[in-house]
Amino acid sequence: MTDLTHNEALQKTTVDQRLTERGIFVTAQRRAIADVLFARNQHLTADQLLMLVNETGAKVSKATIYNTLGLFAEKGLVREIHISSAKTFYDSNTSRHHHFYNMDTGDLIDMKERLAPLFLQSDLPDGTVMETADIVVRVRNQKP
């Protein structure tokens, strides 16, 4: 067995374990989507993910991409970052962090958690506690 084959087998086992630990039945299409999505920390739209998965040779439909992303989000494997009613990113990094969204380039960039939402604590409605805070700061490129 070559190193590449061994590494591929290890990656598939890891992806399969990650899915089954969350109660997700592993199919070839879900594995193909997970292989691309979890290859590194990244922010992808459904259309970007569809293109990347199909480039691997695995053919999946747009509906399968959306259904799988919805399932992965429900099970806590990805975070949905809603930029607008027409644009949602899926973040493979589920750790606590916030984002910059560049309105000129369309890039979503991680922000360190230093911007912890402690300032929100004093404004919470009585009888509530903060569960999460998803902060997206919209930026534009500086004009020369």
11: CATH: 1.10.10.10
pLDDT for residue 95 = 84
In the predicted model, is pLDDT for residue 135 greater than 90?
A: no
Q: Has residue 144 been placed in a domain?
A: no
Structural domain span for residue 123:
98-139
Q: Are residues 50 and 114 in the same domain?
A: no
Distances (CA, A) of 84 to 65, 72, 81, 105: 19, 20, 9, 15
Q: Give the model confidence (pLDDT) of 91-123 as tens digits.
A: 999 888 888 999 999 999 988 766 556 666 677
Average of per-residue pLDDT across 23-34: 92
Q: Has residue 59 been placed in a domain?
A: yes
pTM over 0.85, yes/no = no
Do the beta carbons of residue 69 and residue 46 sit within 8 Å?
Answer: yes
Q: Are residues 127 and 59 in the same domain?
A: no
Q: Are residues 71 and 10 in the same domain?
A: yes
> Which own/partner contact pairs does 40-47 have at CB distance under 8 Å and 24+ positions apart?
40/92, 41/91, 41/92, 41/93, 41/110, 42/91, 42/92, 42/93, 43/81, 43/89, 43/90, 43/91, 43/92, 43/99, 43/108, 44/89, 44/90, 44/92, 45/87, 45/88, 45/89, 45/90, 46/88, 46/90
pLDDT for residue 138 = 84
N-term to C-term CA, the chain: 55
In the predicted model, is pLDDT for residue 124 greater than 90?
A: no
Using a pLDDT cut of 90, give the percent of the chain over it: 49
pLDDT for residue 98 = 86
Q: Has residue 133 been placed in a domain?
A: yes
Q: Has residue 28 been placed in a domain?
A: yes
Q: Has residue 67 been placed in a domain?
A: yes
Q: Are residues 115 and 82 in the same domain?
A: no
Q: Are residues 86 and 105 in the same domain?
A: no
- State how many domains the chain has: 2
